[in-house]
Structure 1
Amino acid sequence: MSVNNILIIYCHPYTGSFNHAELEAVIHNLQQHHQNFTVIDLYADGFTPFYDQEELRLFHTGQTHDPLVTKYLHLLQATQGIIFISPIWWNSIPGMLKGFIDKVMKEGPGLSHTVSQTGIHGELTNIKKAYVLTTSTSPTLYFRCLMGNGIQKIFIRKTLRQLGIKHGQWQNFGGISSSTNSKRQNYLEHLSQQNFNF
């Protein structure tokens, strides 16, 4: 199986958003460093983030009737690093991204995880590190100190680790609604030059 060095999972419906500007900055960065990468654009792909009756019936067999689920899982199995780009909505990841985790992470040997009496064993150990790049209207300190630090404590340290992704780094551009154009541009410049170390 060929290896894509980096898989970008992008989750925002609006191409005029700051998240989309982040995506473009990250793509520019990886191109400048001659990195192989693939972009999953959940909204552009028309991904359905919820189970229907047949999909739920197939879940415990590790199967699916959604071709995007098969495509996405194969990409996950063939990558060494992930960059998530997403807003924070209601103190957590958006429903679209949560649905990606729900539907694509199939239970079974050789898939994303297996379940035993002692817990969940992650199968995606090929992924050495995940970067989670988020934006929020509230300041980052608000999430870290007052709202339970859910992206770091739940999404990275629990969910991703259960899938076998042991190392994750969260960086958030907070207070985006009140930020200046200069501050936003400086952050995008930082992303375009940041060393994504996998």
Structure 2
Amino acid sequence: MKHLVVYAHPSPESLNHAILETTVEALKNNGHEVTVRDLYALQFQPVLKPEDTEAMKAGHTPIDIKTEQNFISEADAITFIYPIWWTGLPAILKGYIDRVFSYGFAYSVGPEGIIKLLKGKQGFIINTHGTPSEVYDEIGMTAGLKVTSDTGILDFVGIEPVGHLLFGSIGYVDDAAYKGMLQEVRTTISSVFA
């Protein structure tokens, strides 16, 4: 299986980076071909500009967008790894979605409504956040994040959501807790993408 990992965190010392390494290792151990797109390392330009839209309408997709679309087209599964900032996606990843999941590539519209153009792919999401998970669960934020990402992004374009891990209290727990999180990532990825 060809697996694309889209990663968005600026620090190589972060838990997110350890999650990335753990995910890639688990996938490779299961025989998957893995491609990582580290948006910060790529210095991905996240702002959807009027000239981008005009170029795509004219059938001339800008090369940076087309490159990412090619990786998505070739993938059987896509895993997104990113922190939750201000209860949402980091700007660089939001911009990736805005620019890469474009009309005519990821979705279209017909007489019957939305046409999902990325059917046949699986999607998995791993998030971290500083707020305790219990608090996010209690106020409905965990459910809200899953609906926004799993339904509002993945399912909207036809990608089947097959899992979503959220880890809270980042920055406030001990090493044993972080090791437990990485073990959960390893076990879950190995099981979902056996």
Q: What is the TM-score normalised by the length of structure 1?
A: 0.88
Aligned residues: 191
- 2:163 is the alignment partner of 1:166: no
Q: Deviations over 1:39-76 (max 9, x none)?
A: 111111110001233113224445422x2211111111
Larger proportion of helix = 2
Alpha-carbon distance between aligned partners in 2 of 1:172 and 1:61, rounded to the nearest angstrom: 40
Shift in Å, 1:197: 2.2
2:125 aligns with 132
Provide the rounded CA distance (Å) in 2 between the counterparts of 1:162 and 1:63.
24
Name the aligned partner's letter for residue 150 of structure 2.
Answer: I
**1:84 partnered with 2:80:** yes
Where structure 1 has 5 or more consecutive residues not aligned to the other structure, the ranges are none
Moved more, 67-76 or 114-123: 114-123
Pick one of 51, 54, 65 that aligns with 2:51.
54
Structure 2 match to 1:123:
117
Partners of 2:4 and 2:72 within 8 A in 1:
yes
Quote the Cα distance in structure 1 between the aligned partners of 2:154 and 2:183: 28
Using the TM superposition, give the Cα deviation of residue 160 of structure 1 relative to its aligned residue in structure 2, in angstroms.
1.2
Range with bigger deviation, 144-153 or 99-108 = 144-153
Residue 136 of structure 1 aligns to which amino acid in structure 2? Answer: H
Deviating 4+ runs (over 4 angstroms) = none
Q: Which moved more, 1:143-152 or 1:70-79?
A: 143-152
- Spell out the pairing of 1:1-198 with structure 2 (5 A cutoff): 5-61=2-58, 63-65=60-62, 67-108=63-104, 111-116=105-110, 118-127=112-121, 129-148=122-141, 149-194=143-188, 195-198=190-193
Equivalent pairs: percent with the same residue?
Answer: 27
Structure 2: state its 5+ residue gaps. Answer: none
- The alpha-carbon distance between structure 1 residues 117 and 91, as it changes in their structure 2 partners (threshold 3 A), is farther
